[in-house]
Structure 1
């Protein structure tokens, strides 16, 4: 499959299956879509009103050479490989520990219902967390590096258990030849020097939740009394980012129908000094006034273009920052299985509730149709796990012929389910946004190459 697009003055051609990216001139850009179904003479004739015959022939030969080298028009040989995944026993490598089903904020778009997850408020006990870590070690096979995310709600509402679980994890690493990589996601309300010192010592990454400009953040992330939280958390987050030398963290925001000009929020965070930024589109039913609609798409797509151009200018001036969704590896990247099956929800990745129940990921928590088992008895719904094993770009009709499939890995299974009632369905708005992000990311790579 070949995908062509123009962005910021660059004419770019992607060979999807090989991963090859080409920045081409006008002639090649027009020759390539005609190449496979037309002879050289036919292409010369069709483009005679734009280019000389010699120019077309030269371009044609260059395209032909790229095809022969396996850099254009390559075939997809991965589908049979992915269909064999059902036979493999899952190896768990990551867990999302819901250390607290409670929160001190009342974020309006929260899928966790202010931490309750359609159930009850609760804090994870050390015993449940210990059982979860034991299960992870026992079921991780030969994999040495294990990922554990302390999540909520707000995990700092149960900080003592977080500390005890990290201590326990460290105590068994050598015995089982494992290395725990801990992550903490926090809204910042309870962040203080003690927490920062602990996180900097023990956590490989930290996610700091903020939505950008004060008016945007305070509208969607207030305290329960309605007061905004921006003024309290931003100085803490700035201190946290600096204490980590501006690496191994993200300020992570959510944009909604109310801030369709979200590039301004990203720029605002960059102007505050943050170097690692992620802003995600809200995922919400159309009944919510903050939900993104298909009518919002033109403006949102333009925002990614605006952001990409701004980032390029800042890089030229030595004021660059990273935007998570524009970070793309064109040379290495994840292994093929990871690129085709995504996060591994329900198989290599599990979410654990405060009382020890397993769900495929945090977005499924509370929906008992997706209850897989628990930390004490293991996985009981192997039939459900088998469905997640085979959830990949080839099981999703809308993904098979999409140029972005190797970059988005089929998208989020939870979003697909929530909008199509099928983990192998799709969330169309999310797909359009993802495709634009991939195009912008590739354009930035092309532009950065010009700067070298």
Structure 2
């Protein structure tokens, strides 16, 4: 039994946007059935020991197209978790453009860790995140953010960083900060081709983003640097089932198929090499998937940051970049090393400034 287990319900494949860098496959209308969602929740709860935690996430497509289903599944999960003395942690990632009453009810659920996708400067966002009709979406997301801020609902912003927008990342953070955003999760587009010149721009963007973070501590959170700072200070990180990768974490598709991570689902095609055995409706729990062995790539041996490395633990990122869950590539190493280096630089400068 797990102390923590992560279940991601991919509640649909449909989406109202047509982002150029989307990795989730064809936008078909195929919602998850309530039966599949409830059965997956039952199995996940049975995989958690009493007093443990089920981390229940919702993903798509655009999950809020199925807002009513999410509300139903949250009610069901809360009741089922209470019965088994299991704690429930909720999270969801949305594009922030669905304006229905049910969508608002989901976004403002108590204890829901809400993530909204916005790529920073409106020009960077609207260059890639457009509606089905090709219209920009930035203003609609900003409107949602303003409503949430007025309602006192905390959220984090997921900023997709890719070769043609990487240089604008710090300026994008500054823009969103002026709108009231305080929590930032930059996320590299791992499906893109990154050149050496792009890597140099990424290094520079990380340096400037770290300055932005350091100047606004402690009210501002940037995931790339928060984690490195905690690791460097020896502060235990909040436990999570993320990166349990098929062992302590399962993603269930609308068709009921199982994957080790929602980022690997795509269009849920039969030939997807990352599909796990079994089906959501078959079985009593999710305890039959063994953990993968620890990663010890030979090329990592000379690196002094092995004990602080997050690249080694993210199997899906490795698979996306190299086709091998146990092997990172140069882009992932560049990100990890640059974030650690700039975190230490910023924190050291703050210590010197205070003495």
Separation (CA, whole Å) in 1 of partners of 2:42 and 2:181: 36
Q: CA deviation at 1:345?
A: 1.1
Equivalent of residue 144 in structure 1, options 47, 52, 57: 52
- Matching of residue 101 in structure 1 with residue 13 in structure 2: yes
Equivalent residues of 2:42, 2:80 under 8 A apart: no
For residues 419 and 334 of structure 1, do their structure 2 counterparts lie closer, same or farther at Cα, with a shift above 3 Å needed?
A: same
Looking at structure 1, the residues matched to 92 and 244 of structure 2 have their Cα atoms a distance apart, in angstroms, of: 20
Partner of 2:88: 180
1:256 aligns with one of 157, 162, 170: 162
TM alignment of 1:210-249, pairs within 5 A? 210-244=118-152, 247=154, 249=155
Task: Provide the rounded CA distance (Å) in 1 between the counterparts of 2:132 and 2:83.
Answer: 45
8 Å contact kept, 1:200–1:244: no
CA distance in 1, matches of 2:172, 2:234: 30
Asked if residue 353 in structure 1 is aligned to residue 253 in structure 2, the reply is: yes
Residue 226 of structure 1, CA deviation: 0.9
Secondary structure class of the residue paired with 2:93: strand
Q: Identify which of structures 1 and 2 has the higher relative contact order when contacts are C-alpha pairs closer than 8 Å and 6+ apart.
A: 2
Q: Distance in 2 between matches of 1:175 and 1:382?
A: 20
The answer to whether the aligner puts 1:424 opposite 2:331 as a matched pair is no
- SS of the residue corresponding to residue 124 of structure 2 reads helix
Partner of 1:441: 343
Shift in alpha-carbon separation, 1:197–1:420, aligned structure 2, 3 A = closer
Is the 8 Å Cα contact of residues 5 and 54 (structure 2) preserved in structure 1? yes
Indicate whether 1:334 and 2:233 are aligned. Answer: no
User: Relative to structure 1, is the Cα distance of residues 398 and 239 closer, same or farther in structure 2, using a 3 angstrom cutoff?
Assistant: farther
User: Residue in 2 aligned with 1:284?
Assistant: 191
- Render the CA deviation track for 1:34-82: whole Å, top value 9, x for unaligned: xxxxxxxxxxxxxxxxxxxxxxxxxxxxxxxxxxxxxxxxxxxxxxxxx
Map 1:352-371 → 2, pairs under 5 A? 352-365=252-265, 366=268, 368-371=272-275
Shift in CA distance, 399/346, structure 1 to aligned 2, threshold 3 Å? farther
| Shift, 1:244, TM fit | 3.4
Q: 1:313: which partner in 2?
A: 215
Distance 1:109 1:294 in 2: 20
Q: Does the aligned pair in 1 maintain the 2:9–2:59 contact within 8 Å?
A: yes
Aligned pair count reads 343
Summarize deviations over 1:349-380 as a string: whole Å, max 9, x none. 11110121110001221353222222222499
State whether structure 2 residue 182 is matched by structure 1 residue 275.
Answer: yes
Q: Secondary structure at the match of 2:261?
A: coil
**1:114-162 Cα distance to aligned partner (Å, 9 max, x none):** 5x4xxx5410111100001001011113452211111101011111110
Gaps of 5+ in 1: 1-88, 287-291
Q: Which is higher, the Rg of structure 1 or of structure 2?
A: 1
Q: Distance in 2 between matches of 1:95 and 1:400?
A: 33
Displacement of 1:91: 6.6
Structure 2 CA distance for partners of 1:332 and 1:393, relative to 1, 3 Å: farther
* SS class of match (1:297): helix
Task: Rate the CA distance shift 1:191–1:179 in 2: closer, same or farther, 3 A.
Answer: farther
**Residue-by-residue CA offset, 1:292-312 (whole Å, 9 max, x unaligned):** 223211121011111222333
Quote the residue 1:156 is aligned against. Answer: 64
Residues 381, 419 of structure 1: CA spacing in aligned structure 2 closer, same or farther, 3 A cutoff? farther
Query: 1:418 deviation in Å?
Result: 2.9
Q: Does 1:322 align with 2:322?
A: no
Match of 1:112, SS? coil
Aligned pairs for 1:28-107 within 5 A = 93-107=5-19
* Contact residue 2 and residue 49 of structure 2 kept, 8 A: no
Contact 1:90–1:347, Cα closer than 8 Å, also in 2: no
- Tell whether the 8 Å contact from 1:351 to 1:361 is kept in structure 2 after alignment: yes
CA distance in 2, matches of 1:243, 1:441: 32
Secondary structure of 1:257's aligned partner: coil
Q: List runs of 5+ in structure 2 lacking aligned partners.
A: none
